[in-house]
Amino acid sequence: MTVPEENKPKTTKTDEVVDQRDERDTTEPAAGGASSRDMAEALEEAGIRPEDMPEE
């Protein structure tokens, strides 16, 4: 019989990694328009056009 993963004891290394924060991280969240631009690029690369999408 196997033990479900949620019932296994945690490792001590996991807590150490989660608690450490990298103070050198200076990345900022993406601008609001960036996500839609990325989606448009992904759709274009996939060959999907606006005409292919059903209208709601």
Residue holding tokens 């200076």? 26
Two tokens, residue 54? 């059903």
In this prediction, residues 12-17 reach a mean pLDDT of 61
Give 49's contacts (C-beta < 8 A, 6+ positions apart).
43
pLDDT value at 26 more than 70: no
Domain boundaries along the sequence of the chain: 5-52
When comparing pLDDT for 16 and 2, which is higher? 2
